[in-house]
Protein backbone atom coordinates (compact mmCIF):
# COMPACT_ATOMS: atom_id res chain seq x y z
CA UNK A 1 0.00 0.00 0.00
CA UNK A 2 1.25 3.46 -0.88
CA UNK A 3 1.95 5.98 1.87
CA UNK A 4 -0.61 8.76 1.59
CA UNK A 5 1.20 12.08 1.76
CA UNK A 6 -1.04 14.11 4.03
CA UNK A 7 -0.73 17.75 3.01
CA UNK A 8 -3.56 18.79 5.28
CA UNK A 9 -1.73 17.55 8.35
CA UNK A 10 1.66 18.93 7.30
CA UNK A 11 0.11 22.30 6.52
CA UNK A 12 -1.53 22.35 9.93
CA UNK A 13 1.81 21.46 11.61
CA UNK A 14 3.46 24.31 9.69
CA UNK A 15 0.71 26.68 10.78
CA UNK A 16 1.56 25.93 14.42
CA UNK A 17 5.28 26.41 13.74
CA UNK A 18 4.59 29.73 12.01
CA UNK A 19 2.46 30.89 14.93
CA UNK A 20 5.40 30.35 17.28
CA UNK A 21 7.71 32.23 14.88
CA UNK A 22 5.26 35.13 14.70
CA UNK A 23 5.13 35.31 18.50
CA UNK A 24 8.89 35.39 18.56
CA UNK A 25 9.28 38.20 16.05
CA UNK A 26 6.39 40.18 17.52
CA UNK A 27 8.12 40.04 20.92
CA UNK A 28 11.07 41.78 19.22
CA UNK A 29 8.76 44.60 18.14
CA UNK A 30 8.23 43.52 14.51
CA UNK A 31 4.63 42.97 13.45
CA UNK A 32 4.51 41.05 10.13
CA UNK A 33 1.99 42.41 7.65
CA UNK A 34 0.59 41.06 4.39
CA UNK A 35 -1.20 43.35 1.93
CA UNK A 36 -3.65 41.69 -0.45
CA UNK A 37 -5.27 43.22 -3.49
CA UNK A 38 -8.42 41.74 -4.98
CA UNK A 39 -9.83 43.29 -8.14
CA UNK A 40 -13.26 42.21 -9.34
CA UNK A 41 -15.93 39.83 -8.10
CA UNK A 42 -14.61 36.39 -9.05
CA UNK A 43 -16.12 34.00 -6.48
CA UNK A 44 -13.12 31.66 -6.24
CA UNK A 45 -10.71 34.60 -5.83
CA UNK A 46 -12.89 36.05 -3.07
CA UNK A 47 -12.81 32.71 -1.28
CA UNK A 48 -8.99 32.41 -1.61
CA UNK A 49 -8.49 35.92 -0.24
CA UNK A 50 -10.82 35.24 2.70
CA UNK A 51 -8.90 32.11 3.63
CA UNK A 52 -5.58 33.99 3.46
CA UNK A 53 -7.03 36.70 5.69
CA UNK A 54 -8.28 34.08 8.16
CA UNK A 55 -4.94 32.26 8.23
CA UNK A 56 -3.09 35.53 9.00
CA UNK A 57 -5.57 36.30 11.74
CA UNK A 58 -5.22 32.82 13.28
CA UNK A 59 -1.46 33.13 13.70
CA UNK A 60 -1.16 36.83 14.55
CA UNK A 61 -0.04 38.29 11.21
CA UNK A 62 -1.68 41.56 10.28
CA UNK A 63 -3.45 41.53 6.93
CA UNK A 64 -4.78 44.42 4.88
CA UNK A 65 -7.22 43.52 2.13
CA UNK A 66 -8.15 46.02 -0.53
CA UNK A 67 -11.19 44.92 -2.53
CA UNK A 68 -11.56 46.95 -5.71
CA UNK A 69 -14.33 46.84 -8.37
CA UNK A 70 -13.95 45.27 -11.80
CA UNK A 71 -13.74 48.76 -13.32
CA UNK A 72 -10.46 49.56 -11.52
CA UNK A 73 -7.86 50.84 -13.98
CA UNK A 74 -4.32 49.51 -14.40
CA UNK A 75 -3.00 52.87 -13.22
CA UNK A 76 -4.99 52.62 -9.99
CA UNK A 77 -3.62 49.12 -9.36
CA UNK A 78 -0.04 50.32 -9.99
CA UNK A 79 -0.62 53.24 -7.60
CA UNK A 80 -1.77 50.91 -4.82
CA UNK A 81 1.28 48.69 -5.27
CA UNK A 82 3.58 51.69 -5.33
CA UNK A 83 2.09 52.82 -2.02
CA UNK A 84 2.61 49.36 -0.46
CA UNK A 85 6.15 49.10 -1.91
CA UNK A 86 7.01 52.29 -0.04
CA UNK A 87 5.22 51.38 3.18
CA UNK A 88 7.82 50.04 5.61
CA UNK A 89 5.14 48.31 7.69
CA UNK A 90 4.13 46.07 4.74
CA UNK A 91 6.28 42.91 4.41
CA UNK A 92 4.43 41.05 1.71
CA UNK A 93 2.28 42.09 -1.27
CA UNK A 94 -0.06 39.69 -3.00
CA UNK A 95 -2.18 40.52 -6.03
CA UNK A 96 -4.88 37.89 -6.37
CA UNK A 97 -4.90 36.48 -9.90
CA UNK A 98 -6.51 36.47 -12.38
CA UNK A 99 -6.87 40.21 -12.87
CA UNK A 100 -9.61 41.60 -15.14
CA UNK A 101 -8.65 41.40 -18.83
CA UNK A 102 -8.01 45.16 -19.24
CA UNK A 103 -5.18 45.03 -16.70
CA UNK A 104 -1.76 43.81 -17.84
CA UNK A 105 -0.87 41.08 -15.37
CA UNK A 106 2.87 40.98 -16.15
CA UNK A 107 3.15 44.74 -15.74
CA UNK A 108 1.46 44.53 -12.35
CA UNK A 109 3.62 41.62 -11.12
CA UNK A 110 6.73 43.44 -12.32
CA UNK A 111 5.77 46.51 -10.30
CA UNK A 112 5.87 44.63 -6.97
CA UNK A 113 9.10 45.20 -5.10
CA UNK A 114 11.08 41.89 -5.30
CA UNK A 115 11.72 42.14 -1.55
CA UNK A 116 7.95 42.01 -0.89
CA UNK A 117 7.11 39.55 -3.69
CA UNK A 118 5.86 36.75 -1.43
CA UNK A 119 4.23 34.95 -4.39
CA UNK A 120 7.67 34.67 -6.00
CA UNK A 121 6.47 35.63 -9.50
CA UNK A 122 8.74 38.66 -10.06
CA UNK A 123 11.45 37.91 -12.67
CA UNK A 124 14.11 38.92 -10.14
CA UNK A 125 12.99 36.15 -7.79
CA UNK A 126 12.65 33.71 -10.70
CA UNK A 127 16.23 34.53 -11.71
CA UNK A 128 17.50 34.15 -8.15
CA UNK A 129 15.85 30.73 -7.88
CA UNK A 130 17.43 29.58 -11.15
CA UNK A 131 20.83 30.91 -10.00
CA UNK A 132 20.51 29.10 -6.66
CA UNK A 133 20.41 32.35 -4.65
CA UNK A 134 18.06 33.09 -1.73
CA UNK A 135 14.68 33.99 -3.24
CA UNK A 136 10.96 33.88 -2.76
CA UNK A 137 9.78 30.68 -4.38
CA UNK A 138 6.20 30.41 -5.72
CA UNK A 139 4.00 28.92 -3.01
CA UNK A 140 2.74 25.71 -4.64
CA UNK A 141 6.20 24.43 -5.70
CA UNK A 142 7.57 25.43 -2.31
CA UNK A 143 4.75 23.38 -0.74
CA UNK A 144 5.69 20.35 -2.86
CA UNK A 145 9.33 20.71 -1.85
CA UNK A 146 8.31 20.90 1.82
CA UNK A 147 6.11 17.79 1.53
CA UNK A 148 8.95 15.77 -0.02
CA UNK A 149 11.33 17.01 2.66
CA UNK A 150 9.02 16.23 5.58
CA UNK A 151 8.27 12.76 4.23
CA UNK A 152 12.05 12.28 3.98
CA UNK A 153 11.95 11.35 0.32
CA UNK A 154 15.54 11.27 -0.79
CA UNK A 155 15.82 12.94 -4.17
CA UNK A 156 19.58 12.79 -4.70
CA UNK A 157 20.23 11.33 -8.14
CA UNK A 158 16.59 10.29 -8.51
CA UNK A 159 14.77 10.90 -11.76
CA UNK A 160 12.01 13.46 -11.18
CA UNK A 161 9.63 13.90 -14.06
CA UNK A 162 7.55 17.08 -14.03
CA UNK A 163 4.54 17.16 -16.33
CA UNK A 164 3.63 20.79 -17.09
CA UNK A 165 5.83 23.85 -17.58
CA UNK A 166 3.80 26.73 -16.13
CA UNK A 167 5.53 29.66 -14.42
CA UNK A 168 3.45 28.95 -11.31
CA UNK A 169 4.21 25.24 -10.85
CA UNK A 170 6.13 23.29 -13.51
CA UNK A 171 9.14 25.54 -14.11
CA UNK A 172 9.80 26.53 -10.47
CA UNK A 173 9.47 22.98 -9.09
CA UNK A 174 11.87 21.71 -11.77
CA UNK A 175 14.34 24.42 -10.77
CA UNK A 176 13.98 23.69 -7.06
CA UNK A 177 14.50 19.95 -7.42
CA UNK A 178 17.62 20.25 -9.55
CA UNK A 179 19.43 22.55 -7.06
CA UNK A 180 22.55 21.05 -5.58
CA UNK A 181 21.42 20.94 -1.98
CA UNK A 182 20.54 18.21 0.52
CA UNK A 183 16.78 18.03 -0.06
CA UNK A 184 16.99 18.19 -3.84
CA UNK A 185 19.86 17.26 -6.18
CA UNK A 186 17.55 15.33 -8.50
CA UNK A 187 17.83 14.58 -12.20
CA UNK A 188 14.89 16.48 -13.66
CA UNK A 189 12.94 16.02 -16.87
CA UNK A 190 10.16 18.45 -17.78
CA UNK A 191 7.56 17.38 -20.32
CA UNK A 192 4.58 19.31 -21.58
CA UNK A 193 1.86 19.58 -24.20
CA UNK A 194 4.30 19.16 -27.09
CA UNK A 195 5.31 15.67 -25.92
CA UNK A 196 3.97 13.12 -28.45
CA UNK A 197 3.55 10.53 -25.68
CA UNK A 198 4.00 11.64 -22.06
CA UNK A 199 3.97 8.05 -20.83
CA UNK A 200 7.43 7.63 -22.42
CA UNK A 201 8.64 10.08 -19.73
CA UNK A 202 6.30 9.31 -16.83
CA UNK A 203 7.24 5.61 -16.91
CA UNK A 204 10.84 6.56 -16.18
CA UNK A 205 9.97 8.63 -13.11
CA UNK A 206 11.20 7.78 -9.61
CA UNK A 207 9.27 10.87 -8.56
CA UNK A 208 6.42 12.12 -10.71
CA UNK A 209 5.00 15.61 -10.39
CA UNK A 210 1.83 16.20 -12.37
CA UNK A 211 0.79 19.83 -12.89
CA UNK A 212 -1.34 19.74 -16.00
CA UNK A 213 -4.98 20.51 -15.25
CA UNK A 214 -6.34 17.43 -17.04
CA UNK A 215 -8.53 15.08 -14.97
CA UNK A 216 -6.90 11.70 -14.28
CA UNK A 217 -4.63 12.03 -17.33
CA UNK A 218 -1.97 9.74 -15.82
CA UNK A 219 -3.08 6.12 -15.44
CA UNK A 220 -1.65 3.10 -13.68
CA UNK A 221 0.03 1.86 -16.87
CA UNK A 222 1.91 5.19 -17.20
CA UNK A 223 4.04 4.77 -14.05
CA UNK A 224 6.52 2.26 -12.70
CA UNK A 225 6.31 0.30 -9.42
CA UNK A 226 7.47 2.26 -6.38
CA UNK A 227 7.08 5.73 -7.89
CA UNK A 228 6.48 8.71 -5.58
CA UNK A 229 3.60 10.76 -6.98
CA UNK A 230 2.83 14.41 -6.33
CA UNK A 231 -0.46 15.33 -7.93
CA UNK A 232 -0.91 19.09 -8.24
CA UNK A 233 -3.99 19.01 -10.47
CA UNK A 234 -7.32 20.33 -9.22
CA UNK A 235 -10.05 19.40 -11.68
CA UNK A 236 -13.82 19.38 -11.31
CA UNK A 237 -15.59 16.46 -12.93
CA UNK A 238 -19.34 16.00 -13.10
CA UNK A 239 -20.70 13.65 -10.46
CA UNK A 240 -24.45 13.75 -10.10
CA UNK A 241 -24.31 11.41 -7.10
CA UNK A 242 -22.84 14.24 -5.00
CA UNK A 243 -24.76 17.17 -3.53
CA UNK A 244 -22.77 19.71 -5.53
CA UNK A 245 -23.04 17.76 -8.78
CA UNK A 246 -19.28 17.47 -9.15
CA UNK A 247 -16.20 16.13 -7.41
CA UNK A 248 -12.59 17.22 -7.47
CA UNK A 249 -9.92 14.95 -8.95
CA UNK A 250 -6.23 15.34 -9.69
CA UNK A 251 -4.20 14.85 -12.86
CA UNK A 252 -3.48 11.30 -11.73
CA UNK A 253 -5.90 8.40 -11.59
CA UNK A 254 -5.54 7.82 -7.86
CA UNK A 255 -7.24 4.40 -7.71
CA UNK A 256 -4.91 2.94 -10.35
CA UNK A 257 -1.66 4.75 -9.58
CA UNK A 258 -1.81 4.34 -5.78
CA UNK A 259 -1.63 0.55 -6.34
CA UNK A 260 1.86 0.93 -7.83
CA UNK A 261 3.18 3.98 -5.99
CA UNK A 262 5.27 3.89 -2.81
CA UNK A 263 3.84 7.27 -1.79
CA UNK A 264 1.20 9.55 -3.30
CA UNK A 265 -0.62 12.81 -2.56
CA UNK A 266 -4.42 12.63 -2.58
CA UNK A 267 -6.62 15.26 -4.26
CA UNK A 268 -7.99 17.00 -2.32
CA UNK A 269 -5.82 17.06 0.81
CA UNK A 270 -2.35 16.74 -0.74
CA UNK A 271 -0.58 19.69 -2.34
CA UNK A 272 -3.59 22.04 -2.13
CA UNK A 273 -3.48 22.88 1.60
CA UNK A 274 0.28 23.56 1.46
CA UNK A 275 0.08 26.63 -0.78
CA UNK A 276 -1.39 29.00 1.80
CA UNK A 277 1.11 27.94 4.48
CA UNK A 278 3.96 28.69 2.09
CA UNK A 279 2.54 32.15 1.33
CA UNK A 280 2.52 32.97 5.01
CA UNK A 281 5.98 31.43 5.44
CA UNK A 282 7.25 33.74 2.69
CA UNK A 283 5.63 36.73 4.42
CA UNK A 284 7.31 35.83 7.65
CA UNK A 285 10.65 35.35 5.90
CA UNK A 286 10.21 38.87 4.55
CA UNK A 287 9.55 40.26 8.03
CA UNK A 288 12.61 38.36 9.28
CA UNK A 289 14.65 39.75 6.34
CA UNK A 290 15.76 36.27 5.45
CA UNK A 291 15.96 36.76 1.67
CA UNK A 292 16.62 40.48 1.08
CA UNK A 293 18.81 41.75 3.90
CA UNK A 294 18.54 45.52 3.45
P1 LIG B 1 -1.25 25.72 -16.72
O2 LIG B 1 -2.49 25.58 -17.52
O3 LIG B 1 -0.64 27.07 -16.59
O4 LIG B 1 -0.15 24.72 -17.26
C5 LIG B 1 -0.45 23.42 -17.61
C6 LIG B 1 0.76 22.78 -18.24
O7 LIG B 1 0.43 21.46 -18.61
C8 LIG B 1 1.25 23.49 -19.49
O9 LIG B 1 2.62 23.76 -19.33
C10 LIG B 1 1.02 22.49 -20.62
O11 LIG B 1 2.10 22.49 -21.54
C12 LIG B 1 0.93 21.19 -19.90
N13 LIG B 1 0.03 20.24 -20.57
C14 LIG B 1 -1.25 20.45 -20.95
N15 LIG B 1 -1.78 19.34 -21.49
C16 LIG B 1 -0.81 18.41 -21.46
C17 LIG B 1 -0.72 17.06 -21.89
N18 LIG B 1 -1.76 16.42 -22.44
N19 LIG B 1 0.44 16.40 -21.70
C20 LIG B 1 1.49 17.01 -21.12
N21 LIG B 1 1.47 18.30 -20.69
C22 LIG B 1 0.33 18.99 -20.86
O23 LIG B 1 -1.61 25.12 -15.29
P24 LIG B 1 -0.95 25.32 -13.83
O25 LIG B 1 -1.24 26.67 -13.33
O26 LIG B 1 0.46 24.84 -13.85
O27 LIG B 1 -1.84 24.28 -13.02
C28 LIG B 1 -1.84 22.90 -13.29
C29 LIG B 1 -2.85 22.20 -12.40
O30 LIG B 1 -2.47 22.42 -11.04
C31 LIG B 1 -4.28 22.76 -12.49
O32 LIG B 1 -5.19 21.71 -12.31
C33 LIG B 1 -4.37 23.73 -11.34
O34 LIG B 1 -5.69 23.90 -10.89
C35 LIG B 1 -3.52 23.04 -10.32
N36 LIG B 1 -2.91 23.96 -9.34
C37 LIG B 1 -3.05 23.65 -8.02
C38 LIG B 1 -2.51 24.49 -7.07
C39 LIG B 1 -2.65 24.13 -5.62
O40 LIG B 1 -2.85 22.99 -5.28
N41 LIG B 1 -2.57 25.01 -4.70
C42 LIG B 1 -1.82 25.63 -7.45
C43 LIG B 1 -1.64 25.90 -8.81
C44 LIG B 1 -2.20 25.05 -9.75
110 and 144 share one domain: no
Across residues 165-180, what is the average pLDDT? 98
Å from CA of 251 to ligand 1 middle:
9
**Cα-based torsion angle of the residue sequence 137, 94, 249, 10 in order, rounded to the nearest 10 degrees:** 60
Looking at the domain assignment, is residue 109 inside a domain? yes
In this prediction, residues 50-64 reach a mean pLDDT of: 98
Task: Round the average pLDDT of the chain to a whole number and report it.
Answer: 97
pLDDT in tens, 249-287: 999 999 999 999 999 999 999 999 999 999 999 999 999
Active-site annotation holds for 96: yes
CATH number of the domain residue 208 falls in: 3.40.50.720
pLDDT in tens, 65-124: 999 999 999 999 999 999 999 999 999 999 999 999 999 999 999 999 999 999 999 999
**CA atoms within a 13 Å half-sphere pointing along the CA-CB vector of 152:** 0
| Residues near 36 by beta carbon (within 8 Å), at least 6 away in sequence | 49, 52, 53, 63, 64, 65, 66, 94, 95, 96
> Are 106 and 217 found together in one domain?
no
Q: Can you give the pLDDT at residue 294?
A: 67
Ligand 1, pocket-test mutation among 166, 190, 218, 219, most atoms within 8 A of CB: 166
Which of 6, 33, 116, 119 is catalytic? The answer is: 119
Average pLDDT over residues 133-147: 98
CA of 235 to the centre of ligand 1 (A): 10
Q: Quick check: pTM over 0.85?
A: yes
Number of independent structural domains in the chain: 2
**pLDDT value of residue 1:** 87
Does residue 174 form part of some domain?
Answer: yes
Question: Catalytic residue at 158?
Answer: no
**Boundaries of domain holding 181:** 139-272
Would residue 119 count as lying in a domain?
Answer: no
Query: Burial level of 267, CB count in 10 A (0-12/13-18/19+)?
Result: buried
In the predicted model, what is the mean pLDDT of residues 185-199? 98
Centroid of ligand 1 to alpha carbon of 260 (angstroms): 23
3-class SS shares of the chain: helix, strand, coil, % to 5: 40, 15, 45
Tell me: do 105 and 173 sit in the same domain: no
**Cα–Cα distance for residue pair 52/1, rounded to 1 Å:** 35
- Bridge partners (DSSP) listed for residue 248: 236
pLDDT in tens, 204-219: 999 999 999 999 999 9
CA dihedral 263, 14, 271, 124 (to 10 degrees): -120
What percent of the chain has pLDDT above 70?
A: 100
Note the residue count of the chain. 294
Amino acid sequence: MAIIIDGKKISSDIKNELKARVENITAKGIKPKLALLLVGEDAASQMYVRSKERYCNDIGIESVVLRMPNTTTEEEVLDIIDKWNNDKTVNGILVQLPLPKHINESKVLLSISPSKDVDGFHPENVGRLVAGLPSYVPCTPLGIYELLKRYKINLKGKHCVVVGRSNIVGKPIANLLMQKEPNANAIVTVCHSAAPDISYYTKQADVLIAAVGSPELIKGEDVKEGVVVIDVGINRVEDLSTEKGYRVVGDVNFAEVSKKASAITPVPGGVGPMTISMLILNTLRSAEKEVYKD
